[in-house]
Amino acid sequence: MLKTNCDIGERGVAHPIDDQLMHYIDIANIACGGHAGDANSIAYYQNLATSNKVMITAHLSYPDPANFGRLKMNISITELINSLTEQYLRLPVGKIKFHGALYHEANTNAQLAKALVQWMEQRQVNLILTPDDSLLANHARQHKIMVMAEAFIERGYQQLSDGKLSLIPRGQAGAELDSVTQALAQYQQIQNGALLIDSQQYPIIAQTACIHSDSAIALELAQTIRKLRH
């Protein structure tokens, strides 16, 4: 059964949607200050996740709150690692999910993937949420870091020229699934191991599927999936 994960704490303490989502998800990726979040929101959502028996990951990003971590930053590996260390020390739970542009860059940039895995080893991180066929996943497995393969429920996918699947970039047609019916259909496809894109099926491996808390359908979607599973 696919575990649902959700990016949480990106809109401050006691956000009404985030608070309710915590009752319906399995994993909370708590923003640690790189793209959003601060000491108060981290403590608040860590406590809320713990009380609801929800697994926690530290949600780490390029240090770029102005762009919500969604643009690739031209900074050195050293600068990035220093920022990630600062973010992670706010929530050192041994489990990580990268955010936004850093998430995508780590999946395709071998130098970055290797540097991140080396850093995770130093910080004794033992689990990473990332796509199954990503460079980050491959390097993590080589270094005995557990990979929880991730897919996305309410984001559209496309096939790249190399045959791999990729999210449609935000702002482009089809990037966001805006109906619960559409998203549920994709959830079922992910669970069955094959995404349907332009009438063709593409294999996909995932143990967890993400719902973005700022999606308009996030709460209804999480509630509906929880009902389907019980």
Is residue 32 included in any domain, yes or no? yes
Q: How many CA atoms lie within 13 A of 75 on its CB side?
A: 18
The 10s digit of each residue's pLDDT in 93-141 is 999 999 999 999 999 999 999 999 999 999 999 999 999 999 999 999 9
The 10s digit of each residue's pLDDT in 183-216 is 999 999 999 999 999 889 999 999 999 999 999 9
* CA gap 158, 148 in Å, rounded: 22
Is residue 107 included in any domain, yes or no? yes
Is residue 37 included in any domain, yes or no? yes
Domain that holds residue 16: 3-154+205-229
Number of domains into which the chain is organized: 1
- Is-above-0.85 flag for pTM? yes
The stretch 65-89 carries a mean pLDDT of 97
H/E element holding 130?
A: strand 127-130
H/E element holding 84?
A: helix 77-88
* CA gap 127, 98 in Å, rounded: 12
The stretch 78-101 carries a mean pLDDT of 98
Does the pLDDT at position 79 exceed 80?
yes
Is residue 194 included in any domain, yes or no? no
The 10s digit of each residue's pLDDT in 129-182 is 999 999 999 999 999 999 999 999 999 999 887 878 999 999 999 999 999 999
Is residue 70 included in any domain, yes or no? yes
CATH of the domain at 102: 3.20.20.370
The per-residue pLDDT for 67 is 97
Is residue 115 included in any domain, yes or no? yes
The per-residue pLDDT for 1 is 85
Does the pLDDT at position 230 exceed 80?
no
